[in-house]
Amino acid sequence: MTADLPVGIHDLALRTSSLVLTHAELAQHTGADVVKYHEGIGQRSMSVPTADEDIVTMAADAAAPIIELHGTDRIRTLLFATETSIDQSKAAGVYVHSLLDFPPYVRVVELKQACYGATAALQFATALVHQDPAQQVLVLASDVARYDLDSPGEATQGAAAAAMLVSADPAILAINTPSGLFTQDVMDFWRPNYRSTAVVDGKKSLYAYLQALDGAWKDYQAHGGLPLDEIHTVCYHQPFTRMAFKAHQHLLGETGTQADAAAVDHAIAPTTGYNEIIGNSYTASTYLALAALLEADDTLDGQTVGLFSYGSGSVAEFFTGQVAPGYQAALRTDDHRSVVDRRRPLDYDTYRQLRMAPTHTNGAHHTLPHHAQGAFRLAALRDHQRIYEAVPATT
């Protein structure tokens, strides 16, 4: 291999949790008009984890088919992006390293900056592969978005993981330069160590998102980026899917591009297929949007696609990728749809009971019932340790 080969996403796999709460069910108990959910925020259902699912089990489940196909021989780095970390010291990726039987000769690091972390991991991964095109990097983005019960954010909850194998000469998407960057200290969304749910200023967060989009786009242009009319569409971070439509309309306005609502819908709707039924997945959200777009359109060979990643607090990046010729053969469409379809529906009372169940923080031994449908589960908590296990395959 030579150092001038394109570098980017060679394989992409998604996973979500085992349970689902529809917004129609939620609306019956909150008193909200379901149209507020379906049209107002663009959400139809949200994934809910079982007690034995978390960011590790979803990430390992997402990565497993990639490892089964490509092996681990060339993977020298595993980067795990999350904002719902399970430990203040140990990287969640170390558990995945063990569950998937990686060799010891791999660096494992966890990255955090709200929902932006996976894009940082992707950019770090591409730099490592440019440095040594013979190696590959596994990027994992996994989160559980959880808000206070009966709060405005409750309807935007979700859970998912995206696994990306970053390689030279990628089969799906080559990552382009330049990137547009933007950072600003703003308290729009944050989660102190003593809280299990986030603190959110919804209006400020909407404004901060759009301000960051402006800043990142201007920086992208200042560094020689493409004009918007040369970018097929943009995969936006989607805390709720209507945000992507608002963001694209805003960017069109900032660039002086004329487009009506139908044109915006045509550009953005293909990116929302997973996020509208899974909910907010924080770090994985942008890459669920990318998967949805690629799986919805088989005519993207050679097209340039934009990606906008936003993490509250705030850090943002706008960049582009070029879709690889023949990308359709590398997609996992049927697998992803089966994972979404297998989720078990929750009634509202069961959902509340699950959310209000006590958390085990006393270090005692707690064996967790087996409810997860994925290939891995959190089996127990013991001596302040999390005990994970692979689930035997059924025939």
- The sign of the CA dihedral 368, 55, 153, 23 is negative
pLDDT at 39 over 80: yes
Q: Does residue 344 lie in a domain region?
A: yes
User: What's the pLDDT score for residue 247?
Assistant: 98
User: What's the pLDDT score for residue 158?
Assistant: 98
pLDDT above 70 coverage of the chain, percent: 99
CA distances (Å), 115 to each of 1, 57, 167, in order? Answer: 33, 19, 23
User: What's the pLDDT score for residue 361?
Assistant: 83
User: What's the pLDDT score for residue 393?
Assistant: 81
CATH code, 63: 3.40.47.10
Distance CA 202, CA 172 (A): 35
Give the pLDDT band (50/70/90) at residue 120: very high
pLDDT at 190 over 90: yes
**260 contacts: CB under 8 Å, gap ≥ 6:** none
User: What's the pLDDT score for residue 359?
Assistant: 82
Marked catalytic residue, from 53, 97, 110, 115: 115
Looking at residues 267-276, what average pLDDT do you find? 98
User: What's the pLDDT score for residue 4?
Assistant: 82
Looking at residues 330-340, what average pLDDT do you find? 98
Known catalytic residue at 154: no
Determine which helix (DSSP H) or strand (DSSP E) holds 139, and give its type and residue range: strand 136-145
Distance CA 104, CA 76 (A): 10
User: What's the pLDDT score for residue 2?
Assistant: 47
Tokens of residue 304, six digits:
């340039």
Give the pLDDT band (50/70/90) at residue 358: confident
pLDDT at 394 over 80: no
User: What's the pLDDT score for residue 259?
Assistant: 83
DSSP string, 224-254: TPPPGGGS--EEE--SSTHHHHHHHHHHHHH
pLDDT above 90 coverage of the chain, percent: 94
* Residues 92/96/97/100 CA torsion (nearest 10 deg): 180
Q: Does residue 118 lie in a domain region?
A: yes
Tokens of residue 371, six digits:
């409810």
Name the most confidently modeled range: 27-31, 81-85, 199-203.
81-85
User: What's the pLDDT score for residue 1?
Assistant: 43
293 DSSP assignment: H
Marked catalytic residue, from 10, 23, 53, 83: 83
Known catalytic residue at 29: no
Average pLDDT of the chain to the nearest whole number:
96
Looking at residues 247-275, what average pLDDT do you find? 95
Q: Does residue 301 lie in a domain region?
A: yes
Tokens of residue 52, six digits:
């034995």
Reported as a single tens digit per residue, the pLDDT across 64-91 is: 999 999 999 999 999 999 999 999 999 9
Marked catalytic residue, from 10, 23, 97, 237: 237
Q: Does residue 395 lie in a domain region?
A: no
Looking at residues 339-364, what average pLDDT do you find? 93
pLDDT at 249 over 50: yes
Tokens of residue 135, six digits:
């190696």
Closest of 58, 41, 62 to residue 238, by C-alpha = 41
The answer to whether 308 and 234 have CB atoms below 8 angstroms apart is yes
Three-state SS for 160?
strand
pLDDT at 3 over 70: no
What domain count does the chain have?
A: 1
Q: Does residue 185 lie in a domain region?
A: yes
Q: Look up the domain containing 63 and give its range.
A: 7-390
User: What's the pLDDT score for residue 108?
Assistant: 98
Known catalytic residue at 115: yes
